[in-house]
Amino acid sequence: MITRHHGKTIHVRLLGGVLAALGALLGTQALAASMPAYQPVTQARLLHAQHDPGWLMYRRAYNGQGYAPFSQIDPANVSKLKIAFTYKTGLKQGHEAAPIVNGRYMFITTPLDHVIALDAETGKVLWKYQKKLPPATLKTVCCGVVNRGVALYGRNVYLTTLDNHVVALHATTGKVVWDKKLEDAGVGYAMTLAPLVVHGAVVVGESGGEFGARDFIAALDSKTGKLLWKRYTVPSPGQPGSDTWPKGNAYEHGGGPAWITGTYDPETDTLFWGVGNPAPWLPTNRPGRNLYTDSVLALNPHNGKIKWYYQYTPHDAWDYDGVNTPVLADIQYHGRTVKALLHADRNGWFYALDRVNGKFLWAKPFTRVNTITSIKADGTPVEDTDRLPAVGKKVFICPSAFGGKNWWPMSVNPDTGMAYLPTLHVCSEVEGVAVKYKRGMPYFGEKPVWKHQPGTKDWGEVQAININTGKQVWSHHYENAWDAGMLSTASGLVFSGSVDGHFYAFDGETGKVLWKSPKLSSGIIGVPTTYTVGGHQYVAVYAGFGAVLSLYAPNLVGETAKHKIPRGGELYVFRLP
């Protein structure tokens, strides 16, 4: 009986599987049919993204301010916020992405390069995509297998991947439109940033400074994936800046990662991109200023040529990775309005530059600093050379390699004239160790031990800084490291999250905590966004602790044998009742 009917049983099971798959497909199609038509994202919409009801790019608008002109949620009613919907990813690594929204379509990414499209009003899943990563991929990924979000253009969604691909997906189906490889997997490179689309070009940056890669910024055609230009961040012999590197092949594995999304100024048609640390960390291996590491590059977006640059930390000896988002805002300087570029660097200094010509305006320390003791009027930093690590030499430095502020983006509210910074109070004892370059292997040369910043018992802080003067306006201290992005709105609110799993709303003028969510399912290290749809304002943020601090410094976030922050990614979307 069993043998005779076995084939029929298989056929029935196969038929059942087919019917189930067909049902799922029809269900997805029915759900898609219930959605409004997808509105293509044009260059005109990106130029006016600040006023869009959605959230069209990584930091909302080309200026990188992370500010939304919404006021439905305000200081008087923010305490009434409730969860509108959640979505669990099923992954336990760190979740750092910013939710991107176009009308009713929301796009989120996860660790290991998944993309999920959701109904921004209900949270229903529209489609899912998962990048198939070759086994070698994770060998040379530093600091977490994260992804920070997508870019939108036309009817496509753009993703960078850990195996160094840029992928275009159809926004309403998730089907692959094109897939372009920029580098091999597992040889030192990885990409984790959200792309930025300018004039139909998808601009991305490579990571790899911790593995001795020679990194670059690149632009691809949004329709075809064709490489339009490629700008290495470490010059080769004979190119401008090459004399700031030792002779030989040091430049070939000199680092200069470009792993955070840049910004764009339409008025001057200039792309701004942060460049990170030189490799190895040990400075004695690479005498010279080591351009263009630890710099901001002002680039022609059409060909990648450098218009000007400013180097925050020449010959970086402390991994003061200068990639933090260059934020564009107008400030008052000596009685006149100046088009400025604002930057809170890992080296602990808050900078204002003239974004038209790169001229240094001013810089003020925003945390304890003992490595760069001052900055001259022309923008040249003065370093304490006694604090340069060397083989067999230990030095005590503030801030640590984690920085006064790590990659988590600050927000600037042009109405209050303040920048809101996630800040760290972490110093370290650093000892140099001998290191040689070997492809695909870590390339550090320094061994840090994390220490409390003298004079404080806290590891972190949220602070407000006056963008016209660089002076602190208010501060909110926190016992653990504060490692989440900031969001500000026209109603005067500032949103961010903590590693112990609470989402906060601060009064942007005073720093008073106006609302604190119930404890969420994991700690927050992501970037919050806000959007309006169906007459309601929503605020969205990932909970999903992990990545760099959990891997390398669990003591900074209060993790002990008795207290572990729960893992697991979950998107939380809040609105008023």
Which residues are known catalytic residues? 319
- 2, exposed or middle or buried, with CB in 10 Å at 0-12, 13-18, 19+? exposed
Angle at CA of residue 232, ends 306 and 141, nearest 5°: 135
Region of residue 241 (phi > 0: left; psi between -120 and 50: alpha; otherwise: beta): left
CA nearest neighbour of 465 among 404, 378, 513, 523: 404
Give strand ranges (E) for 81-226: 82-88, 100-102, 105-109, 114-119, 125-130, 151-153, 156-160, 165-170, 176-181, 196-198, 201-205, 216-221
CB 537 within 8 A of CB 576: yes
Element (H, E) at 43: helix 43-47
Compute the distance between CA of residue 348 and CA of residue 174 in angstroms, rounded to an integer.
Answer: 41
> DSSP per residue over 58-116, as a string?
TTSSTT---EE---SS-TTTGGG-EEEEEEE-S--S---PPPEEETTEEEEE-TTSEEE
Q: How many CB atoms are located within 10 Å of the residue 333 CB? A: 15
Cβ pair 367, 458 in contact under 8 A: no
494: Cβ contacts below 8 Å, ≥ 6 apart: 411, 413, 420, 462, 464, 486, 487, 488, 505, 506, 507, 508
Secondary structure letter of residue 253 according to DSSP: G
**Amino acid letter, residue 496:** S
**Cα dist from 276 to 204, 325, 342, 402, 459, whole Å:** 14, 11, 17, 13, 23
- Tell me which residue of 152, 72, 77, 68 sits closest to 108, measured CA to CA: 152
* Residues 330 and 65 sit within 8 Å (Cβ to Cβ): no
With contact defined as beta carbons under 8 Å apart, do 569 and 523 qualify?
no
DSSP annotation of 16 reads H
Both structure tokens of 6: 């076995």
Angle, vertex CA 485, rays to CA 509 and CA 502, nearest 5? 80
